[in-house]
């Protein structure tokens, strides 16, 4: 059996990978491309989502949480107030408990007066461009407060999706290299493109 015949199954699987993985990752790549433009050009009229934000403040009665940890106390208060999101900040004092919730569309700050059992809830809501911007850098990782890392199911799921997208893109890149090596007549222009990309990347990594 010739080496060409041995490579045929690999070539077929690589072609399927490019078609189906590319289709699966298509919307994610578009999402990051558009959100990258929004972040890179904040002065564009449509990208100015922050000046168009909507804010509201409400006050509600609550029962002082009895949980043993700050995170559990925040979850208790979220249940009482009907809130959801990723807890990314908690501040505690003798008579006050504060925490902040994040979702791509909304920032919610909760301040609880423990002595009077009252909660002040301040919410900031952004439009769709703000959501794209938030998704671009949403990881749920908290280096300073590891206990808060990915404390919501939605952020855990998003983190898994980002891992899948990263692995999928790596597979597409390596599959592209395989296709390039298979097409001998395109080795020279492909090598030129590869070197140009490496030089550009090296400039931003080590020189800029």
The total number of residues written for the chain in this structure: 208
Tens digits of residue pLDDT in 28-47: 999 989 888 888 888 888 78
Q: Report which of residues 4 and 196 the model is more confident about.
A: 196
Q: Which domains does the chain have, with CATH numbers?
A: 3-43+160-200 (no CATH), 54-125 (2.20.25)
Tens digits of residue pLDDT in 153-187: 999 999 999 999 999 999 999 988 888 888 777 78
Residue 8 CB contacts under 8 Å (≥ 6 apart), including other chains: none
Residue 1 has pLDDT above 60, yes or no: no
Angle made by CA atoms 78, 83, 85, in degrees to the nearest 5: 95
Read off the pTM.
Answer: 0.80
Residue 55 CB contacts under 8 Å (≥ 6 apart), including other chains: 122, 123, 124, 125
CA neighbor of 132 nearest in space, from 47, 53, 68: 47
pLDDT band at 63 (very low <50, low <70, confident <90, very high): very high
Tens digits of residue pLDDT in 68-121: 899 999 999 999 999 999 999 999 998 999 999 999 999 999 999 999 999 999
pLDDT band at 6 (very low <50, low <70, confident <90, very high): low
Residue 2 has pLDDT above 60, yes or no: no
């Amino acid at each position: 059996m010739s080496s060409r015949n041995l490579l045929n199954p690999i070539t077929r699987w690589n072609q399927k990978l490019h078609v189906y993985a590319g289709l699966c990752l298509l919307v994610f790549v578009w999402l990051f491309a558009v959100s990258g433009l929004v972040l890179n050009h904040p002065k564009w009229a449509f990208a100015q989502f922050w000046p168009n934000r909507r804010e509201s403040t409400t006050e509600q009665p609550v029962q002082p949480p009895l949980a043993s940890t700050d995170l559990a106390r925040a979850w208790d208060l979220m249940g009482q107030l009907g809130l959801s999101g990723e807890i990314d900040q908690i501040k505690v004092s003798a008579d006050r408990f504060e925490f902040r919730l994040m979702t791509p569309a909304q920032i919610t700050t909760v301040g609880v007066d423990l002595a009077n059992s009252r909660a002040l809830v301040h919410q900031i809501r952004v439009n769709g461009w703000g959501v794209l911007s938030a998704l671009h850098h949403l990881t749920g990782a908290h280096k300073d407060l590891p206990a808060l890392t990915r404390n919501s199911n939605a952020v855990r799921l998003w983190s898994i999706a980002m891992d899948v997208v990263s692995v999928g893109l790596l597979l597409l890149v390596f599959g592209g290299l395989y296709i390039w090596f298979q097409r001998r007549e395109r080795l020279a222009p492909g090598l030129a493109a590869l070197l140009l990309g490496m030089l550009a990347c090296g400039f931003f990594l080590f020189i800029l």
